Structure 1
Amino acid sequence: MSNSLLMILLVLITGIVSGSVGFGIKLFLDQRSQIASRNAANQQINMAQERSQEILLEAKESSLQFRLESEKEINEEKRKIRQDQSKVDSLKEKVEKQISELDQEKLSVSEQVKFVEQQQKDLSNSRELYAKKIEDASEISYEDAKNILLKEAQEDIEHNVAKKFRLAEEELELKVEDHAKNIIAGAVQRFASDVVAEETIQAISIPSEDMKGRLIGRDGRNIRAIEKATGVDLIVDESPESVTVSCFDPIRRQVAINALNELIKDGRIHPARIESISEKSRKDIDKTIRKAGEDATFESSVKGLHPEIINMMGRLKYRYSYGENVLQHSIEVAHLGALMASEIGADEKVCRTGGFLHDIGKAFTHEIEGPHAEIGADLVNKYEMDPKIVTVIKEHHDSDFSTIESFIVAAADALSASRPGARRDSAEAYIKRLKDIEEIALSFEGVEKCFAIEAGRELRVMVDPIRINDDEAALLAKNIVEKIESSLNYPGQIKVIVIRESRSIETAQ
């Protein structure tokens, strides 16, 4: 019993001691943890205080920097304002000074106006007085004296105008002549035509007099049948082994020529056969016309033409102007116009197409009334051609041109027509034209002699150097040109050259 009690007591004492020790350890650990937490908190507080001090210091520095920059900007703005104010004050001072000067000038001008008005009044009175004295002294009225002075002034003005006109012409010729020659020479050299001139065929050879009689027929019925079928005049005269075809329409004439050649070759000649052969010849000519138009279009490098226009151009194969084939002439103008346009930067396509079509109206001049240029322009306009091309066709014979392309095509037309061998006139008409040109020049005073050369394309006029001075020579050339233009009809251009020669001769003994 006592042992049990002792054991219980021992256990209790041991438990009490163990609890005390555990409580002490726990209390120690809690105190230690509190100390560590307190130290950490103090450390955080210290760090926060240090950071706040840094932030406060940075804020003070930023505030100071901002204030310094603001003060600098404010000072700069104040400086600019002071400068602007100084400029405004200076400008205001200048304006006020100018206003003052203007007021003074206005006053001075007003005084001068009054002075001038008084001078004019005095001058008018003096002029009237002097005019009266002059009239009394010279016995010439004021109006007569005025007319004399006006005449002298007019002569002086005409002299000055003539002089300036001559100088302007010389200057223009120096600048333009060489360039124009180079362009034209280059175009002509780059294009070489293989045909110069052709002549319309009118005479038909007959192999024998027997064939000629068969061609005439009984009582001339075959001749009447041919004329009725082809629309030509068939002339049978005393000429041996030949008949002559006459018709103003070149296509009908060619139909008749082909039909006659076929009839003579075949030998069967009677009205029914004549009608059949004539119809066949007409169809063959239509094919030839179409082929000629296509070949000419290809040779001219013209594109985009309506088939009807190509067919119209083919009709020109049988049309001649002064012995020159119009279709071949059109091909030449197309090439020359395109070459010159490429040299000066004009529209090459317009010049090529316009040059090719410029004489298309000649295919219908005997069917439609009016100038061939207007007829051609109206024809191509119906097929919605480029308006520039229509203008070129319409203006190619005008003296005033609305476009540079019109001028180029007109120049190419004249160049093709006027070159040696291109066209032929009758000898009588040729000689008469030259005489008329020379007579016009000889009708002017001071002209001693003149010569029409270069097939009438150049007129050289020799003048009396005593009666005609250099300035008057320039006016004389202009007057001769104007009279030629108003009095004569001529192809191409006529260049008038007035030559004034002065000679001083001394003899050494």
Structure 2
Amino acid sequence: MILILITAIVALAIGAVATMIVQRNMATSRARTIIDEAKKEAEVIKKDRLLEAREEEIKIKAEAERQAQQRISKVQQAESKIKQREMQLNQQQGENQRARNEIEQTRQRLDEQLAMAESKKAELDSLRHKAQEELEHISGLTAEEAKDKLVESLKDEAKTAAASYINDIMDDAKMTANKEAKRIVVQSIQRVATETAIENSVTVFQIDSDEIKGRIIGREGRNIRALEAATGIEIIVDDTPEAIVLSGFDPVRREIARLALHQLVADGRIHPARIEEVVAKVRKQIEEEIIETGKRTAIDLGIHGLHPDLIRLVGKMKYRSSYGQNLLQHSRETANLCAVMASELGLNPKKARRAGLLHDIGKVPDEEPELPHALLGMKLAEKYKEKPEICNAIGAHHDEIEQ
């Protein structure tokens, strides 16, 4: 039994040893395999690194060659420019040498001509002296006496010529001064008249918000067309904030358009039929206000017996300006000044005041005339049975304007 146990133990020991030997051999074989694979991978990596290094070397070499080629090209271009510059300098030197040669030849010719001129001058002096002696012998006058007579004769001719020349200069100066004065006046009018022209042709209607612009224009623009047709005024609705521009040369029409727009916007009902109704109503109100203004002005100035049409024209002056001043205010001031001057001169102040008030009625006609306003005012005064002295005073205003 013990023998069997010993045999089993020995067999286990031998098996364990054999197993260890087999495992060691297998580990050794696996290590060798791993080492071989590592060597192979290292060889592949080495080859890849060598290829990359060669490629990088080729790239560096190509880049160096390219830079070297660029530098060579720049050097060649610089050499070419230097050669061209040398050729230009050589050409300039040749041209300068030719110019110096020509200058030297010209100087020699001038010296020769100068010498000839000196010789001719001496010869001419001699001939002139001989001719002067012969003339003195023939005329019986010395050179000084002949010179004095010639100077006197030339003085008379010079005075006559100078007088004629002075007259020509004076005439030309007058003409030039007249043209220059007109030019200065026109330029002054162009510079100053812009604001007055805008004031006389444009009225700005203020609104609370830009939404009202769309209501004033209406669908497809029918409201604004109806308003323009009813008032005769151009209505400009643009990007100007909270404002509408009324453009037209007739100040009464502009005022009618402004008041009509004010009533339409306040009422809120804006359509073509309503527009025509409001414009007609406002036109009637303005006409009544014009007549009332004319009557009140005549009463304030103590002027009686004016024709109703003249009273209406006086009232229209309220809506017209002249040289930046309201025409009615200007006419009232003129009337008072005329009365004061008439009193100082011992004349009739009432007639003078009447003529002063009416002197600019030709500026507010119902239709555009071709006559100057002073002549038109005189015709209106004659038409409405004003006295001849009043008509003549208004017409005399035209002569003052012409002067």
TM-score, normalising length: structure 1? 0.41
Distance 1:135 1:358 in 2: 74
How far the C-alpha of 1:140 sits from its partner, in A, is: 5.5
Distance 2:221 2:377 in 1: 41
Partner of 2:213: 212
Residue identity in the other structure for 2:317:
L
How far the C-alpha of 1:136 sits from its partner, in A, is: 9.1
Answer yes or no: is 1:339 the counterpart of 2:340.
yes
Partner of 2:373: 372
1:484-506 CA-to-partner distances (Å, cap 9, x unmatched) read: x99xxxxxxxxxxxxxxxxxxxx
How far the C-alpha of 1:338 sits from its partner, in A, is: 0.3
Please say if residues 355 and 390 of structure 2, whose CA atoms lie closer than 8 Å, have aligned partners that are also in contact: yes
Partner of 2:223: 222
Residue identity in the other structure for 2:271:
H
Residue identity in the other structure for 1:145:
D
How far the C-alpha of 1:345 sits from its partner, in A, is: 1.3
1:310-357 CA-to-partner distances (Å, cap 9, x unmatched) read: 111111111012331101110110001101111121332231111000
Partner of 1:264: 265
Please say if residues 375 and 398 of structure 2, whose CA atoms lie closer than 8 Å, have aligned partners that are also in contact: no
Please say if residues 343 and 349 of structure 2, whose CA atoms lie closer than 8 Å, have aligned partners that are also in contact: yes
Distance 1:359 1:290 in 2: 17
Partner of 2:282: 281
Partner of 1:384: 385
Distance 1:283 1:135 in 2: 97
How far the C-alpha of 1:240 sits from its partner, in A, is: 2.2
Q: Any idea what SS the aligned residue of 1:385 has? A: coil
Answer yes or no: is 1:145 the counterpart of 2:119.
no
Higher helix share: 2
Distance 1:315 1:361 in 2: 11
Please say if residues 299 and 331 of structure 1, whose CA atoms lie closer than 8 Å, have aligned partners that are also in contact: no
* RMSD (Å) for aligned C-alpha atoms: 3.0
How far the C-alpha of 1:259 sits from its partner, in A, is: 0.6
How far the C-alpha of 1:398 sits from its partner, in A, is: 2.4
Q: Any idea what SS the aligned residue of 2:298 has? A: helix
Distance 1:360 1:135 in 2: 78
Q: Which has the higher contact order (CA 8 A, sep 6+)?
A: 1
Gap change, CA 1:233 and 1:135, over 3 Å in 2: farther
Partner of 1:462: none
How far the C-alpha of 1:148 sits from its partner, in A, is: 3.5
Gap change, CA 1:135 and 1:226, over 3 Å in 2: farther
Gap change, CA 1:272 and 1:135, over 3 Å in 2: farther
Partner of 2:119: none
Partner of 2:78: none
Residue identity in the other structure for 1:314:
G
How far the C-alpha of 1:210 sits from its partner, in A, is: 3.0
Task: Answer with 1 or 2: which has the greater Rg.
Answer: 2
Alignment of 1:50-61 (within 5 A): none
Distance 1:340 1:390 in 2: 18
Distance 2:286 2:158 in 1: 74
Please say if residues 318 and 325 of structure 1, whose CA atoms lie closer than 8 Å, have aligned partners that are also in contact: yes
Gap change, CA 1:275 and 1:149, over 3 Å in 2: closer
Residue identity in the other structure for 2:312:
N
Identical-residue share of aligned pairs (%): 45
Residue identity in the other structure for 1:216:
I
Gap change, CA 1:245 and 1:140, over 3 Å in 2: same
Gap change, CA 1:237 and 1:151, over 3 Å in 2: closer
Residue identity in the other structure for 2:277:
S
How far the C-alpha of 1:137 sits from its partner, in A, is: 5.2
Alignment of 1:420-439 (within 5 A): none
Please say if residues 233 and 254 of structure 2, whose CA atoms lie closer than 8 Å, have aligned partners that are also in contact: yes
Alignment of 1:276-315 (within 5 A): 276-315=277-316
Distance 1:378 1:295 in 2: 24
Please say if residues 316 and 326 of structure 1, whose CA atoms lie closer than 8 Å, have aligned partners that are also in contact: yes
Distance 2:162 2:246 in 1: 66
Residue identity in the other structure for 1:214:
R
Alignment of 1:124-203 (within 5 A): 138-139=149-150, 145=156, 148=159, 202-203=203-204
Distance 2:161 2:218 in 1: 84
1:417-437 CA-to-partner distances (Å, cap 9, x unmatched) read: xxxxxxxxxxxxxxxxxxxxx
Please say if residues 342 and 349 of structure 2, whose CA atoms lie closer than 8 Å, have aligned partners that are also in contact: yes
Please say if residues 135 and 142 of structure 1, whose CA atoms lie closer than 8 Å, have aligned partners that are also in contact: no
Distance 1:352 1:233 in 2: 38
Residue identity in the other structure for 1:261:
H
Gaps in structure 2 of 5+ consecutive residues: 1-144, 167-198
Q: Any idea what SS the aligned residue of 1:202 has? A: strand
1:261-294 CA-to-partner distances (Å, cap 9, x unmatched) read: 1101111000000011111111111101101111
TM-score, normalising length: structure 2? 0.51
Please say if residues 293 and 315 of structure 2, whose CA atoms lie closer than 8 Å, have aligned partners that are also in contact: yes
Please say if residues 249 and 366 of structure 1, whose CA atoms lie closer than 8 Å, have aligned partners that are also in contact: no
Gaps in structure 1 of 5+ consecutive residues: 1-133, 156-198, 400-409, 411-484, 487-509
Distance 2:146 2:375 in 1: 64
Partner of 1:467: none
